[in-house]
Chains A and B, each alone.
Chain A
């Protein structure tokens, strides 16, 4: 390359679903996706660069999903967003519950990123509909719920799980069977992990667990005091009570068929 200074910086160019891919199984646009006016190409280009630096690792260089981050082209936040206002909320605050850090970025930079995300024409093939997820046998799911799954030991479809099928979409429901609070949608009220520390003197201190490692355990007691105790092997004695332990215990044991059956059963509890 001879000219170096005068030319503008080359830009990384994710393929879009426009002309180049037009013959690859497209089904034409549907009205489900927003129709947008084309943005200023200079702003889209700047957004592309900013996206490449800050976003593409997790959300993919083509914004369709990357290392852990979801497809942004079909995310509801991005679909609802007009000019960066909805995306900015996520970018500037992060989503700590899902592992997304916050980014210190100006409103103009977020607008440019939004313009880049919005520059991808969306086509009608959409995502696999939630209803397709429900392949399980609800009767078998009910039997598992009340039988080997031991779900009924803590839960009831007429009690805490009443109308559960109308609260969550199928994927979220399926995910939350395995781990409450995960996936999309409002987080349920979960009991905190508690801990009981028994000192050498026999004194016991209980509270909600703040953190624990090999060398210290920290809790907040009923009076709101934060207390931290050094640990040395088995001293002091520490008992952690994780209310979600029964769910974690399922992960190595349950088969996908049982998960799908449970999901079909609970999805019908409306």
Chain B
């Protein structure tokens, strides 16, 4: 498609008055490559998770050691852990929320309620992080908790929170009961909250808001049968700017002919529950959509592709209009979302410089597209075990084998529901030209359990019995060929690693299933340094403060910061 001229002019409009905030963040700064700070979900808009910091590098990695830890306490009374002998004044907990009393959260899926599974932002020496119903500001120098905000929930799935967004002096996060909450970054006091989705329709909100110019890009989730959408809010007022449905919701909507009927389409899912990437030149925000619903039993959806579920979508942030799409899992039948973080790369492809977007999806396939036009350039399979597709069609899209659906006699399928990869973000290193991804060679038996597809909603109708995994690994993929340049298999196979970070210090940080935090050689995959934490729950990040480079990772409700000795 043709992109309007005058992009440079439009870009200038984002430069907000310098008076906005000296201490907070100027949204325009987010368009720069990642250096000292970590101001947005993936560090920068490209989602490469590549930092130009190189104080910590291959020559001194052996001296990387723990600098500090911070323990986060969730709930109405907690901010940090204080013992009776600690004379420090506990930081304030600010309580908000629409419920008279918070609903009890019993276990957070095996993790503590303060578990951090999302991004931790670093801006001007302060870290900002969130867990379901909770947000914190922490000193990036030594881990002291400055403030804690607790939201009294009215319910909703409390599976995790991907972190906060920052704009000027304001912090934004989403709650499982579908509110967008705006806090003062200095005090943690609430400025406003807005309802972003219909709680009664089972939406629950976990993703991190992304600030782009004067837009706050907000996604949400749902596992039943509601339509997916992406919204843009005014970061100052919280007013809705636009709303893009990811499935057809009215007659004449594009993609409707890929569904049995409008009723099926408008209950068809395609949730936007993770953060995408942004291209400042084209003003396109590129994100992946979730599975169609009903997920496992498909007759009511018709035989079509079920657009725009399990797709990469490019939306113009100024208009909220879709510029292009590419479906990475047509007519998905296994609840394999395609919400994995897309990565923007400027590089050679087919002998020509191109503006690309790369994505490795939960179904085990890797894709390269032209990010300006959406033109398909390459598809390859990164999971050797993935066995659900017959091949790849002329469009570059995998062709599902219906015999590998949920079936009455049972189908042996890889990957399991967890996917060949999942939300833990990949990384791209421009020095090696390699795309790094956490993978899992898992298998399950998929049984169709409900004899009447008309009875099935959401994720019901089938039973998956997990068999286990042949191994988890980190793979390095050459985006020009789709070939796997190296694959580091881990000895134990439980779940996938928790996300990756590449740095100019010629290091690739990641984790293994046994809870080791590891620095690899990005060229070969050899481990160069490790420490055993036991449980790691978010992707590593890095920032520079006071002349010292820190590497940050969370394990449950504890944040670990490493620096050189």
A residues in contact (CB < 8 Å) with B: 1, 4-5, 8-15, 17, 21, 24-25, 48-50, 52-54, 56-58, 60-62, 64-68, 70-71, 74, 91, 94, 98-99, 101-105, 109, 125-128, 132-136, 171, 174-175, 178-179, 182-183, 211-216, 240, 248, 251-252, 254, 256, 259-260, 263
- Say whether, besides A213-B491, A213-B516, A174 and B106 are in contact (CB < 8 Å): no
Establish whether residues A109 and B410, one from each chain, have CB atoms under 8 Å apart when the complex forms. no
B residues in contact (CB < 8 Å) with A: 98-100, 103-107, 109-110, 153-159, 176, 195, 199-202, 204, 223-224, 296, 335, 384-385, 387, 403, 407-412, 414, 417-418, 443, 445, 447-452, 454-468, 470, 490-492, 512-514, 516, 518, 527, 530, 532
| Complex CA distance for A8 and B447, rounded to whole angstroms | 40
Establish whether residues B530 and A182, one from each chain, have CB atoms under 8 Å apart when the complex forms. no
Establish whether residues B445 and A175, one from each chain, have CB atoms under 8 Å apart when the complex forms. yes
Establish whether residues B153 and A53, one from each chain, have CB atoms under 8 Å apart when the complex forms. yes
Establish whether residues B157 and A14, one from each chain, have CB atoms under 8 Å apart when the complex forms. no
Q: Can you list 21 pairs linking A and B with CB atoms under 8 Å apart?
A: A5-B100, A10-B200, A50-B103, A52-B156, A54-B106, A62-B460, A64-B460, A101-B109, A105-B104, A127-B451, A133-B410, A135-B408, A183-B465, A211-B514, A214-B490, A214-B530, A248-B468, A251-B470, A259-B410, A260-B410, A263-B409
Contacts of B514 on A, CB cut-off 8 Å? 211, 213
Contacts of A256 on B, CB cut-off 8 Å? 403, 407, 409-412
Establish whether residues A65 and B107, one from each chain, have CB atoms under 8 Å apart when the complex forms. no
- Say whether, besides A64-B456, A71-B463, A57 and B157 are in contact (CB < 8 Å): yes
Q: Which 6 A-B pairs have the closest CB atoms?
A: A101-B110, A64-B460, A103-B106, A103-B107, A9-B154, A213-B514
Contacts of B458 on A, CB cut-off 8 Å? 60-62, 64-66
Establish whether residues A64 and B104, one from each chain, have CB atoms under 8 Å apart when the complex forms. no
| Complex CA distance for A80 and B470, rounded to whole angstroms | 36
Interface centre among A53, A70, A183, A214 (most CB of B within 10 A): A53
Contacts of A24 on B, CB cut-off 8 Å? 452, 454-455
| Complex CA distance for A175 and B460, rounded to whole angstroms | 20
| Complex CA distance for A259 and B157, rounded to whole angstroms | 37
- Say whether, besides A171-B447, A179-B468, A1 and B195 are in contact (CB < 8 Å): yes
Establish whether residues A109 and B466, one from each chain, have CB atoms under 8 Å apart when the complex forms. no
Add 6 more A-B contacts to A68-B417, A132-B409 (CB < 8 A).
A24-B452, A49-B103, A56-B223, A64-B461, A66-B459, A133-B447
| B160 (CB) vs chain A CBs: closest residue | A57
| Complex CA distance for A103 and B112, rounded to whole angstroms | 10
Establish whether residues A251 and B451, one from each chain, have CB atoms under 8 Å apart when the complex forms. no
| A70 (CB) vs chain B CBs: closest residue | B463
Contacts of B461 on A, CB cut-off 8 Å? 64-65
| Complex CA distance for A213 and B532, rounded to whole angstroms | 10
The prevalent SS among residues of B at the interface is loop
| Complex CA distance for A12 and B224, rounded to whole angstroms | 11
| Complex CA distance for A20 and B514, rounded to whole angstroms | 48
| A238 (CB) vs chain B CBs: closest residue | B491
| A109 (CB) vs chain B CBs: closest residue | B104
Establish whether residues B455 and A21, one from each chain, have CB atoms under 8 Å apart when the complex forms. yes
| Complex CA distance for A135 and B457, rounded to whole angstroms | 27
Choose from A64, A99, A178 the contact partner of B412 (Cβ within 8 Å): A178
Establish whether residues A25 and B105, one from each chain, have CB atoms under 8 Å apart when the complex forms. no
Chain A nearest CB, measured from B22 CB (Å): 35
Contacts of A127 on B, CB cut-off 8 Å? 449-451
Chain B nearest CB, measured from A37 CB (Å): 24
Please report the number of residue pairs spanning A and B whose Cβ atoms sit closer than 8 angstroms: 232
| Complex CA distance for A254 and B463, rounded to whole angstroms | 21
Contacts of A132 on B, CB cut-off 8 Å? 408-409
Interface centre among A8, A13, A66, A134 (most CB of B within 10 A): A66
Chain A nearest CB, measured from B458 CB (Å): 5
Establish whether residues B450 and A125, one from each chain, have CB atoms under 8 Å apart when the complex forms. yes
| Complex CA distance for A102 and B527, rounded to whole angstroms | 34
| B154 (CB) vs chain A CBs: closest residue | A9
Establish whether residues A128 and B450, one from each chain, have CB atoms under 8 Å apart when the complex forms. yes
Contacts of B412 on A, CB cut-off 8 Å? 178, 251, 254, 256, 259
Establish whether residues B464 and A104, one from each chain, have CB atoms under 8 Å apart when the complex forms. no
| Complex CA distance for A15 and B225, rounded to whole angstroms | 10
Contacts of A103 on B, CB cut-off 8 Å? 106-107
Establish whether residues A213 and B492, one from each chain, have CB atoms under 8 Å apart when the complex forms. yes
Contacts of B530 on A, CB cut-off 8 Å? 214-215
| Complex CA distance for A99 and B343, rounded to whole angstroms | 31
Establish whether residues A4 and B98, one from each chain, have CB atoms under 8 Å apart when the complex forms. yes
Contacts of A175 on B, CB cut-off 8 Å? 410, 445, 465, 467
Establish whether residues A50 and B106, one from each chain, have CB atoms under 8 Å apart when the complex forms. yes
Chain A nearest CB, measured from B266 CB (Å): 15
Contacts of B417 on A, CB cut-off 8 Å? 67-68
Choose from B106, B466, B513 the contact partner of A182 (Cβ within 8 Å): B466
| A240 (CB) vs chain B CBs: closest residue | B491
Establish whether residues B454 and A60, one from each chain, have CB atoms under 8 Å apart when the complex forms. no
| Complex CA distance for A94 and B513, rounded to whole angstroms | 21
Establish whether residues B159 and A57, one from each chain, have CB atoms under 8 Å apart when the complex forms. yes
Establish whether residues B158 and A215, one from each chain, have CB atoms under 8 Å apart when the complex forms. no
| B413 (CB) vs chain A CBs: closest residue | A256
Contacts of B157 on A, CB cut-off 8 Å? 52-53, 56-57, 61
Contacts of B409 on A, CB cut-off 8 Å? 132-136, 174, 256, 260, 263
Choose from B200, B464, B490 the contact partner of A68 (Cβ within 8 Å): B464
Interface centre among B176, B452, B527 (most CB of A within 10 A): B452
| Complex CA distance for A50 and B105, rounded to whole angstroms | 7
Establish whether residues A54 and B105, one from each chain, have CB atoms under 8 Å apart when the complex forms. yes
Establish whether residues A252 and B385, one from each chain, have CB atoms under 8 Å apart when the complex forms. yes
Establish whether residues B104 and A53, one from each chain, have CB atoms under 8 Å apart when the complex forms. yes
Establish whether residues A60 and B385, one from each chain, have CB atoms under 8 Å apart when the complex forms. no
- Say whether, besides A9-B99, A101-B109, A64 and B457 are in contact (CB < 8 Å): yes
Establish whether residues A251 and B408, one from each chain, have CB atoms under 8 Å apart when the complex forms. no
| Complex CA distance for A43 and B109, rounded to whole angstroms | 23
Interface centre among B159, B417, B418, B458 (most CB of A within 10 A): B458
